[in-house]
Chain A
Amino acid sequence: MLTADYFDGRSTRVRVVRLEVGGESLLISGEDIDRRVPFSEVKVDERLGRAPRRLRFADGAFCVVSDLNALDALLASIAHHDGWVDRIQRRARFVLLCLAACGVLAVAAYKWGLPWAAEIGAAHTPAGIGVKLSDQALEVLDGKILLSSRIGEDRRRQLNAKFHALRLPGGGTEQAELLFRRSPQLGANAFTLPDGRIIVLDDLITIVGDDRQILATLAHEAGHGHGNHGMRMLLQNSLVGAFLAFYVGDISNLLAIAPATLMQARYSRDFEAQADDYAAAVLRLNGMSPGLLADALDKLAKSHREGAGAAYLSSHPATDARMHHLRSQ
């Protein structure tokens, strides 16, 4: 015998009733209630923890059962089967399996899924968007953080010509536009905008000095443009941010920010390595040694240690390993 609270679905009146199985029907009897409902018309709610379960009838009435074990026995006698999600979410073995699966999926998504999705997304992003984003970035930076270059007109034209004469691995010559700027705050640095344009800062030209080594640095930046790294980074950051907001957003939005920032580090290392490989390929194709890029990095690293061009290397970790890799090619 099983007791339950019966509600008619129209008022909050509670009736205590007894539930019994009678043939193909459920028998409900108690305070001025005497119903017989065929099993086929009884809808049983899934089990959620120890919450009371409801047996719902077609007219909106329902019974609430708190004795879950007794209800299970009754359901077993009428050959009711709980849904599969219902079953896995309360068995320790399956729960641990799900936990492991989530862990594996998270690592796989981070290592392969996300970069893959961002690469496809970036490839399908209309070129106009990259240009627009770059224009906006330039608008914000120009005149504030980026000032006009003090490198002589001739030197600039010379570097420009040499850079655009570089033959590329896929055929053709380098097309990316060079933008010469000066920035006391960013120091010896060069970076690539989402549309491939390359910003070269004065300090980088003066500190590296040698044209062939400067060309090697520019080839590295062209590698970022070639790999569409700017747009890919943007998409990856958006996706990581969206996932973390979904994962811990209910607890704290602030908690979602910190890991997102930390996760970017690995991707930027991968992109640096790819850009190095591209630069090495360009240099070899044009009869130069990949070691030239290592020499440039060396100079930048030294100037960094002397307290000068700080920023370039803070975003370029593990410089020694990169130089070693380039020189061994």
Chain B
Amino acid sequence: MDQGTEGESHGGSPSAVAPEPVRFTGSGAEYFGIWIVNLLLTIVTIGIYSAWAKVRRLQYFYRHTELAGSSFDFHGSPIKILIGRLVALAMLIAYNYTVRIQSVWTLAVVGGIALIMPWMLRNSLRFRLYNTSWRGVRFHFRGSVARAYRVFLLYGILSLITLYILAPFMHQRVKAYQHNNSWFGQTRCSFHARAGQFYKLYLLLAAAMVAFVIVVGYSGVFGAFAALAEAQKHGQRVNPYATFRALAILYGLLITIGVSIGPVFHALITNLIWSSTRVGEHRIECNMSPLGLIWISFSNLVLVAVTLGLFIPWASVRMARFQLEAVRLIPAGDLQQFVDAEPDQVGAVGEEAASAFDFDISL
């Protein structure tokens, strides 16, 4: 999985510097203590503590992530996150309320949210990067607002009206916007994957989905849906157990995709994205094993379900270790010479709104 390096020339880069693997040193048992205290305080304060909980959680993961002997750090302020969460909650309530109770306001609220979302997504990137540091030097995001509207809104609408044929293209543009405008101190990052490489992986995804549907179709599972649809068409009484069975099968199929095709695609696209990203002249290599990710996703799902969620801290730590340790930095020179830049001023509203509406632009 070395798509990121093919065809690129690195004539002048010195090869004497050894690759630096990312190491993750967290442990599930340790994180359990932090997680359960976070959970309890969040419940007792009816959610207000969740902002402090988020800071603790991120600090736990960042500070246990090590590169070249030094750990990362998270600097987000809980108060800013709390304000962000309250704004996001208000938006979410307005959205759900107006979508359920349709009125003249529905269009205004949905349209308004769509219009401010690109701006919020950009602020979300600014907040997350600015509050991340390594060896005391902070990351920055300097993408323009105009570009955010082009990438998220214009390309979003385009991919929607072309029935997602443009979705891989949009994905590539989003990542290019994200990574080309990221800075580590005064060092700019760059993104080198082409849309064609995204299309290749999305075609693989589409082929896998078609194959899945064919295999499932041959196994006769769809019979349950067909019988249901047939009964409804002829206005017959529908046996509630048949409905239940069909729903259970649908749920099972979604879970199956979630622990098979899902992780494979995630591993391949993550490898492509990160292996195509550079920090200045330093290259990144991401080599996540698709089969390994299937195993982690599947075992996490089973263990979280049978422990009624108590396995969550171990699941999060296993997943973080697996994904982070797949990454290495190929230094083009000395890692001691990065220099910090001017501080940014940025609130957390964008970050919280983006996660409330489930936009995953995670790093």
Chain A residues in the interface with B (C-beta under 8 A):
5, 7-14, 48-52, 54, 60-62, 64, 85, 88-92, 94-95, 98-99, 101-102, 105-106, 109, 129, 132-133, 136, 184-185, 187, 238, 246-248, 250-252, 254-255, 257-258, 308, 310-311, 314
**Contact A13 B40, CB 8 Å, known A8-B136, A52-B63:** no
Asked if residues A11 and B339 are in contact (CB atoms below 8 Å), the reply is yes
Asked if residues B135 and A14 are in contact (CB atoms below 8 Å), the reply is yes
Asked if residues B37 and A10 are in contact (CB atoms below 8 Å), the reply is no
What total of A-B pairs shows CB separation below 8 Å? 156
Q: How many residues of B sit at the interface, in one of the four size bands?
A: 35 or more
State in angstroms the CA–CA spacing of A202 and B32 once bound together.
56
State in angstroms the CA–CA spacing of A7 and B133 once bound together.
12
B213 CB, nearest partner CB in chain A, Å:
18
Asked if residues B34 and A51 are in contact (CB atoms below 8 Å), the reply is no
Chain B residues in the interface with A (C-beta under 8 A):
25-27, 30-34, 36-37, 39-41, 43-44, 50, 56, 59-60, 63-64, 69-71, 73, 96, 100-103, 134-137, 185, 232, 235-240, 251, 254-255, 258, 300-301, 304-305, 309-310, 312, 315-316, 335-340
A98 CB, nearest partner CB in chain B, Å:
5
Asked if residues B335 and A98 are in contact (CB atoms below 8 Å), the reply is no
Asked if residues B238 and A185 are in contact (CB atoms below 8 Å), the reply is yes
Asked if residues B255 and A64 are in contact (CB atoms below 8 Å), the reply is no
A62 CB, nearest partner CB in chain B, Å:
6
A136 CB contacts on chain B under 8 angstroms? 100-102
Asked if residues A51 and B25 are in contact (CB atoms below 8 Å), the reply is yes
State in angstroms the CA–CA spacing of A308 and B237 once bound together.
8
A–B complex contacts, Cβ < 8 Å, 16 sampled: A7-B136, A13-B336, A14-B69, A14-B135, A48-B63, A50-B25, A52-B71, A85-B41, A94-B37, A106-B43, A132-B101, A136-B102, A185-B235, A248-B309, A252-B304, A310-B239
B64 CB contacts on chain A under 8 angstroms? 48-51
**Contact A11 B43, CB 8 Å, known A49-B31, A254-B258:** no
B36 CB contacts on chain A under 8 angstroms? 89, 95, 98-99, 102
**Contact A102 B304, CB 8 Å, known A11-B337, A95-B33:** no
B102 CB, nearest partner CB in chain A, Å:
7
A49 CB contacts on chain B under 8 angstroms? 26-27, 30-31, 34, 60, 64
A86 CB, nearest partner CB in chain B, Å:
9
Which of B27, B43, B301, B335 makes the CB contact (< 8 A) with A252? Answer: B301
Asked if residues B312 and A250 are in contact (CB atoms below 8 Å), the reply is yes
B337 CB contacts on chain A under 8 angstroms? 11-13
**Contact A12 B37, CB 8 Å, known A64-B70, A255-B305:** no
- Residue in A closest to B310 when the chains form the complex, CB atoms: A99
- Residue in A closest to B42 when the chains form the complex, CB atoms: A246
State in angstroms the CA–CA spacing of A141 and B239 once bound together.
18
Asked if residues B255 and A48 are in contact (CB atoms below 8 Å), the reply is no
**Which among B31, B33, B44, B251 has the highest number of chain A CB atoms within 10 Å?**
B33
Asked if residues A51 and B340 are in contact (CB atoms below 8 Å), the reply is no
Asked if residues A48 and B60 are in contact (CB atoms below 8 Å), the reply is yes
A185 CB contacts on chain B under 8 angstroms? 232, 235-238
Asked if residues A105 and B44 are in contact (CB atoms below 8 Å), the reply is yes
State in angstroms the CA–CA spacing of A54 and B31 once bound together.
19
Asked if residues A89 and B251 are in contact (CB atoms below 8 Å), the reply is no
Asked if residues B336 and A14 are in contact (CB atoms below 8 Å), the reply is yes
Asked if residues A251 and B304 are in contact (CB atoms below 8 Å), the reply is yes
State in angstroms the CA–CA spacing of A127 and B164 once bound together.
41
Asked if residues B336 and A102 are in contact (CB atoms below 8 Å), the reply is no
Asked if residues A133 and B100 are in contact (CB atoms below 8 Å), the reply is yes
Asked if residues B30 and A90 are in contact (CB atoms below 8 Å), the reply is yes
State in angstroms the CA–CA spacing of A60 and B309 once bound together.
40
B335 CB contacts on chain A under 8 angstroms? 12
State in angstroms the CA–CA spacing of A132 and B106 once bound together.
14
A7 CB, nearest partner CB in chain B, Å:
4
A119 CB, nearest partner CB in chain B, Å:
17
B159 CB, nearest partner CB in chain A, Å:
22
Which of A48, A246, A250 makes the CB contact (< 8 A) with B56? Answer: A48
State in angstroms the CA–CA spacing of A50 and B185 once bound together.
27
- 3 smallest CB-CB distances across A and B, nearest first, come from A51-B63, A49-B30, A7-B136
A258 CB contacts on chain B under 8 angstroms? 251
State in angstroms the CA–CA spacing of A172 and B362 once bound together.
59
Asked if residues A11 and B340 are in contact (CB atoms below 8 Å), the reply is yes
Which of A5, A109, A184, A246 makes the CB contact (< 8 A) with B70? Answer: A5
Asked if residues B304 and A310 are in contact (CB atoms below 8 Å), the reply is no
- Residue in B closest to A253 when the chains form the complex, CB atoms: B358
Which of A11, A50, A187, A251 makes the CB contact (< 8 A) with B237? Answer: A187
- Residue in A closest to B312 when the chains form the complex, CB atoms: A251
- Residue in B closest to A101 when the chains form the complex, CB atoms: B40
Asked if residues A7 and B135 are in contact (CB atoms below 8 Å), the reply is yes
A32 CB, nearest partner CB in chain B, Å:
14
State in angstroms the CA–CA spacing of A113 and B84 once bound together.
27
- Residue in B closest to A256 when the chains form the complex, CB atoms: B309
State in angstroms the CA–CA spacing of A54 and B339 once bound together.
20
State in angstroms the CA–CA spacing of A257 and B301 once bound together.
13
B63 CB contacts on chain A under 8 angstroms? 48, 51-52
A113 CB, nearest partner CB in chain B, Å:
10
B103 CB contacts on chain A under 8 angstroms? 132
B44 CB contacts on chain A under 8 angstroms? 105
